[in-house]
Amino acid sequence: MIPVQGFEGQTVAVLGLGRSGLATVRALREGGAEVVAWDDGPRAAEIAEAEGIELRKLSRPEAFEGVACLVTSPGIPHLYPAPHPAIAAALEAGVPVDNDIGLFFRSFGQGDWAELDTPPKVVAVTGSNGKSTTSALIAHVLEHVGRDVQLAGNIGRGVLDIDPPADGGVVVLELSSYQTDLARSLTPDVAVFTNLSPDHLDRHAGLGGYFAAKRRLFAEGGPDRAVIGVDEPEGLFLAGQLSVAPEDDRVIRVSSARKLTGPGWLVYARKGFLSEYRKGRQVSSIDLREVKGLPGAHNHQNACAAYAVVRTIGLAPRVIEAAFHSFGGLPHRSQRIAEAGGVTFVNDSKATNVDSAKQALRAFKRIRWICGGLQKEGGLGPLLGDTGEVMKAYVIGREAADFAMQLTGVETEVCTDMATAVARAAAEAEPGETVLLAPAAASFDQYDSFERRGEDFAAQVEAVLGGQAQG
């Protein structure tokens, strides 16, 4: 646990008693704060009683008398489309609002750090797609060489629930726009921006607000090194803002779409090969085509970002390459779950938006595509240019018929539920084809998370294949 500093003897309010909220309560108490809390869920009283927490309805005008700070869980709106009543009440009362990420950064580095030979580092990863894989890959490479590393944030443990790092330890944080938008303190040693595509637009009042939330990690965080994906205009702009000169190697530009040139520090993947350039000269090259845990150009971008990070930490290219080959990938992200009769079954349930589904479609050939779900803003138009390898689409979700109608030029079948889609795709697939779950939509019309959707896909594949499947 990371005890929260700066609130000893003061009262702090916590809004939301999920995983991050409960970890925040415990870390605040460990640091000497008094805690009151509120959660709109039906189990709030039960959770509070089990933890010995005083429940206080924080939307009341008098709720913030004597309160030093309100700490809110990341999923609770604080500005758009409208602030939660408790957050509005705190702002009216002049009470600062923060989240667990802000508390982590204000508290990290306390205690016995003066006795450490090598201060621990924090690597923070944000962006629209690839955050989890990039974060996990960084942690995997560091584990491979025996470094003390912890994975936290949106993946792994809650940020305040981790152990105080050892000498030379590294904490790798995956951070969403919800987390970077509100945190009052952001001070990573290395910060990563993977890419940007439209997502969570209602929460940020548009694409500009969404990018601004991501940008805070760099503009206000002031990292020693910044690893920036420059395949979108926003990343290119951010890299330009952070650099003081073309040769400024505090900014490492990465790409999976083109060869990068210039005098700076560059890492790019082209035709399956990762290349590192510094001061206009090639430093190393890695063949990514045989790295089974990182299929497709989108994963090659993740590999470039992770490679750049661990290079800043001092690892050699050949060591990184060896670690890449032992990376198994993450569940629900281009995850090969079975093969039978020459047909491969891939679970990319995490492809919850058009851009991530587009990358999945680019990664495989001859695809039986299972898609559909709760559609996001913008429609499916941007996806249609990447459906050339789709043999047929099997559409699920409560609005499957409408989803299918948008897939112009693609043979479709409205299946509605996962069991039907998997059965039909498996029955029609031929050797050399891939049955790919890449929904291009959120899961909440039928499932409570993309993980549950991916698990259902895997279960239906197992049911259809029986004993034929090979892992």
Cβ contacts of 32 within 8 Å, gap of 6 or more? 3, 7, 8, 9
**pLDDT, tens digit, 9 for 90 and up, residues 23-82:** 999 999 999 999 999 999 888 889 999 999 999 999 998 999 999 999 999 989 999 999
Nearest CA to 100 out of 18, 215, 221, 11 is that of 18
> 190 near 53, Cβ under 8 Å?
no
DSSP string, 184-213: S----SEEEE------SHHHHTSHHHHHHH
**Known binding-site residue numbers for ATP:** 127-133
- What strands lie across the sheet with 434-437, from one edge to the other? 335-340, 343-347, 434-437, 367-371, 390-396, 412-416
> 43 near 98, Cβ under 8 Å?
no
Helix and strand counts by DSSP (H, E) for the chain: 15, 20
Phi-psi region of 421 (alpha: psi -120 to 50; beta: other; left: phi over 0): alpha
pLDDT along the chain (471 residues), means of 10: 95 93 95 96 89 93 95 94 96 97 91 81 95 96 96 90 92 96 96 91 92 95 96 96 95 96 97 96 95 89 97 97 92 90 94 90 94 88 92 96 95 97 98 97 94 96 80 53
> 96 near 102, Cβ under 8 Å?
no
Q: Alpha-carbon distance 269 to 283, whole Å?
A: 14
Give Cα 9 distance to the centre of its chain: 35
φ and ψ of 370, to 5 deg? -95, 120
Rg (CA), the chain: 23
**DSSP tag of 330:** -
* Domain 335-468 CATH assignment equals 3.90.190.20: yes
φ and ψ of 138, to 5 deg? -60, -50
Per-residue confidence (pLDDT) for residue 117, from 0 to 100: 87
Q: Alpha-carbon distance 74 to 384, whole Å?
A: 33
- Write down the pTM of the prediction: 0.85
Give Cα 434 distance to the centre of its chain: 25
Per-residue confidence (pLDDT) for residue 466, from 0 to 100: 85
444-458 exposure pattern, b = at least 16 Cβ within 10 A, e = fewer: eebbeebeebbbbbb
Nearest CA to 330 out of 176, 174, 149 is that of 174
Nearest CA to 186 out of 237, 252, 125 is that of 125
Q: Alpha-carbon distance 152 to 159, whole Å?
A: 5
Bond before 81 cis per omega within 30 degrees: yes
Q: Alpha-carbon distance 213 to 176, whole Å?
A: 9
Tell me which residue has tokens 């035709």.
Answer: 271
**Known binding-site residue numbers:** 127-133
* Domain 11-98 CATH assignment equals 3.40.50.720: yes
Per-residue confidence (pLDDT) for residue 471, from 0 to 100: 53
CA dihedral (296, 297, 300, 305) in degrees, to 10, reads -140
Per-residue confidence (pLDDT) for residue 467, from 0 to 100: 60
Joined together, the tokens standing for residue 205 give 């009042």
* Domain 104-325 CATH assignment equals 3.40.1190.10: yes
Q: Alpha-carbon distance 307 to 160, whole Å?
A: 27
Residue extents of the structural domains in the chain: 11-98, 104-325, 335-468
282-304 exposure pattern, b = at least 16 Cβ within 10 A, e = fewer: eebebebeebebbbbbbbbbbbb
Q: Alpha-carbon distance 112 to 97, whole Å?
A: 29
Question: Count of alpha carbons within 13 Å of 322, Cβ hemisphere only?
Answer: 9
Joined together, the tokens standing for residue 8 give 């000893």
Joined together, the tokens standing for residue 166 give 């050892």
DSSP H helices, 259-295, are none
